[in-house]
Chain A
Amino acid sequence: MYKIVKKQILNEYVTLMEIDAPFVAKKAKAGQFIILRVDENGERIPLTIADYNREKGTITIIFQIVGATTAKLNEKKEGEYICDFAGPLGTPSETEGFKKVAVIAGGVGSAIAYPTAKQLHMDGAIVHAVAGFRNKNLVILEEEFKSCCDKFIVMTDDGSYGEKGLVTDALKKLIESGEKYDRVIAIGPLVMMKFVCKLTKEYDIKTIVSMNPVMIDGTGMCGGCRLTVGGKTKFACVDGPDFDGHQVDFDEAIARSGIYKDFERQSHEHICNLLKEQKN
Chain B
Amino acid sequence: MANLSLKKNEMPVQKADVRNKNFNEVALGYTEEQAVAEAERCLSCKNKPCITGCPVAINIPAFIEKVRERNFEGAYEILIKSSSLPAVCGRVCPQENQCEAKCVRGIKGEPVAIGRLERFVADYHMAHSKNQPEKSKSNGHKVAVIGSGPSGLTCAGELAKMGYDVTIFEALHLAGGVLVYGIPEFRLPKEIVRKEIENLKSLGVNVLTNMVIGKVLSIDELLNEEGFDAVYIGTGAGLPRFMEIPGENLNGVYSANEFLTRTNLMKAYIENSDTPIKKSKNVAVVGGGNVAMDAARCAKRLGAENVYIIYRRSLEEMPARKEEVEHAGEEGIIFKILTNPTEILNDGTGFVGGIKCTEMELGEPDISGRRRPIEKKNSEFTLEVDCVIMSIGTSPNPLIRNTTKGLDTNEKGCIITSDRRGITSREGVFAGGDAVTGAATVILAMGAGKDAALAIDDYIKNK
Binding site for B on A (CB under 8 A): 23-24, 26-27, 37, 41-44, 68-69, 72, 83-89, 216-224, 226-228, 233, 238, 252, 255-256, 258-260, 263-264, 267
Contact, CB under 8 Å: A23 / B257: no
Report the minimum CB–CB distance from B414 to chain A (whole Å).
15
Q: Say which residue of B171, B209, B211, B276 sits within 8 Å of A217 (CB atoms).
A: B171
Chain A residues within an 8 Å CB radius of B181:
221
B255 beta carbon closer than 8 Å to chain A: yes
Residues of chain B in range 199-216 having any CB-CB distance to chain A below 8 Å:
209-212, 215-216
Q: Report yes or no: A222 in contact with B257, Cβ–Cβ below 8 A.
A: yes
Are A219 and B171 in touch, CB under 8 angstroms?
yes
| Contacting pair A89 B212 (CB below 8 A) | yes
The answer to whether B258 touches A224, judged by C-beta atoms less than 8 angstroms apart, is: yes
B residues less than 8 Å from A44 (CB atoms): 173, 266, 275
Tell me whether A233 and B258 are in contact (CB under 8 A): no
Chain A nearest CB, measured from B149 CB (Å) = 12
B278 CB contacts on chain A under 8 angstroms: 259-260
Q: Which residues of A contact B212 (CB under 8 A)?
A: 86-87, 89, 218-219
Is A23 in contact with B238, judged by CB distance below 8 angstroms?
Answer: no
Given contacts A24-B216, A220-B398, A238-B398, 17 further A-B contacts (CB under 8 A): A27-B217, A41-B270, A41-B273, A69-B274, A83-B173, A88-B215, A216-B261, A219-B171, A219-B212, A219-B238, A221-B261, A222-B261, A223-B257, A223-B258, A224-B254, A233-B244, A267-B276
Are the C-beta atoms of A258 and B261 separated by less than 8 Å?
Answer: no
Q: Which residue of A lies closest to B214 (CB)?
A: A219
Cβ-based interface call for B251 (8 A): yes
Please state if A216 and B210 are interface contacts (CB–CB under 8 Å): no
User: B16 at the A/B interface (Cβ < 8 Å)?
Assistant: no
B399 interface residue, CB < 8 Å from A? Answer: yes
Assuming the contacts A23-B217, A217-B172, A233-B242, asked whether A223 and B274 have C-beta atoms less than 8 A apart, the reply is no
A223, B255: Cβ atoms closer than 8 Å: yes
B250 — which chain A residues lie within 8 A by C-beta? 255
Bound state CA distance, A259 and B251, in angstroms?
Answer: 6
Q: Given A23-B211, A84-B210, are A258 and B216 neighbors across the interface (CB < 8 Å)? A: no
Flag whether B249 is at the interface (Cβ < 8 A). Answer: yes
A258 touching B210, Cβ below 8 Å: no
Chain A's closest residue to B270 (CB) is A41
Instruction: Give the docked Cα–Cα distance between A217 and B209 (Å).
Output: 13
Given A83-B173, A219-B399, A222-B240, are A88 and B216 also a contact pair (CB < 8 Å)?
yes
- Which residue of chain A lies nearest to B272 when distances are taken between CB atoms in the complex? A41
Given A217-B172, A233-B244, are A43 and B266 also a contact pair (CB < 8 Å)?
Answer: yes
Q: Which residues of A contact B258 (CB under 8 A)?
A: 216, 222-224
